[in-house]
Amino acid sequence: MKKTALITGATSGLGYEFVKLLANDGYNLVLVARDEEKLKEIKQSYSQLEVTVIPKDLSVIGAAKEVFNEIEDRGIDIDVLVNNAGFGLMGSFDELDIQKQLNMIQLNITALTELTYYCLQKMKQRNVGKILNVASTAAFQPGPQMAVYYATKAYVLSFSEALVEELSGSAVTVTTLCPGPTKTNFGAVANVEGTKMFSRAMASDEVAKSGYKALMNGKRVVVTGGFNKAGALGAKFMPRSLAAKVAKYVAEEK
């Protein structure tokens, strides 16, 4: 029987790259994002697979549970969950819109947590399953000018690594992908394209491939690219006050 993968944020960037990789390996797909037209377009290009589209704004309270309920109602078992949907915002915390920042927490943290919760319970019952949670190199230090975004990604990494330990001895795996700046719509949405950090942005297909390989091998954490790996390692050994200053520096305009 064919396996099924659920991908959030499937319409663009890394999520769309995961769609291509999973489709290429013959997975049936459940695709979630807000843009219904784009989801339908993607579905049409994979007529050989069973593709279910669930248009949903995951920054709305209760939306993640609605997605899971719809999957249950359709009798679909999820073998691979890719919690990828997320966004960031550049600016001083107190000057950015508070509602947008709360929506970011709801999407980057709460929706990811809820989907992991419901899918993991089913995966454990079936004793099969792989979860990929998309964090960021932002997870490794505080991020002045993107304070909430960096904090959401620190949550994703901490949460996912804790689950790895809870699941030791189980067939279910949890992998965290920590990309550095990557060429997707993220830069435009977050308004970070003109910053120093984005002068080294990687290609989205390269980043997704590395995450996909780690997911399939059940690896714990993957940081993409040599430069980002060095940065993540550096942040681990630096005092956090210094790491925060470095993050502030790279958030400046080029």
Ligand X SMILES: NC(=O)c1ccc[n+]([C@@H]2O[C@H](COP(=O)([O-])OP(=O)(O)OC[C@H]3O[C@@H](n4cnc5c(N)ncnc54)[C@H](OP(=O)(O)O)[C@@H]3O)[C@@H](O)[C@H]2O)c1
Q: How far is CA 132 from CA 13, 36, 119, 234, in A?
A: 16, 23, 12, 24
149, 150, 155, 212: which one is catalytic?
A: 149
The pairing of strands 80-83 and 130-134 is parallel
Confirm or reject binding of residue 215 to ligand X (CB under 6 A).
no
Q: How far is the CB of 64 from ligand X (least distance, A)?
A: 9
46-79 CB burial, b ≥16 within 10 A, e <16: beeeebbbbebebbeeebbeebbeebeeeeebbb
Confirm or reject binding of residue 235 to ligand X (CB under 6 A).
no
Query: What is the C-alpha end-to-end distance of the chain, expressed in Å?
Result: 51
Q: Which stretch binds ligand X (CB under 6 A): 22-30, 51-59, 161-169, 227-235?
A: 51-59
> Which tokens belong to 133?
């949670």
**Closest by alpha carbon to 58, among 68, 50, 43?**
68
Q: Which stretch binds ligand X (CB under 6 A): 85-93, 166-174, 210-218, 244-252?
A: 85-93
Sole binder of ligand X in the list 25, 26, 35, 125 (CB under 6 A): 35
Confirm or reject binding of residue 179 to ligand X (CB under 6 A).
yes
- The answer to whether 149 is a known catalytic residue is yes
193-218 CB burial, b ≥16 within 10 A, e <16: bebebbeebbebeebbbbbbebbeee
Q: Which stretch binds ligand X (CB under 6 A): 4-12, 69-77, 123-131, 166-174?
A: 4-12
Sole binder of ligand X in the list 4, 28, 59, 210 (CB under 6 A): 59
Name the residue nearer to ligand X (CB basis): 14 or 120: 14
Q: How far is the CB of 136 from ligand X (least distance, A)?
A: 3
Confirm or reject binding of residue 58 to ligand X (CB under 6 A).
yes
Q: How many residues bind ligand X (CB under 6 A)?
A: 30
Q: How far is the CB of 13 from ligand X (least distance, A)?
A: 2
φ, ψ of residue 6 in degrees (nearest 5):
-105, 125
Name the residue nearer to ligand X (CB basis): 148 or 172: 148
Q: Compute the distance between CA of residue 223 and CA of residue 39 in angstroms, rounded to an integer.
A: 28
Q: Which stretch binds ligand X (CB under 6 A): 18-26, 53-61, 92-100, 117-125?
A: 53-61
User: Which position has the token pair 């949405």?
Assistant: 189
Confirm or reject binding of residue 107 to ligand X (CB under 6 A).
yes
DSSP-assigned beta bridge partners for residue 178: 223
Residues tagged active-site: 149
Residues at the interface with ligand X (CB under 6 A) = 8-15, 33-35, 38, 57-59, 84-88, 107, 134, 136, 179, 181-182, 184-186, 189
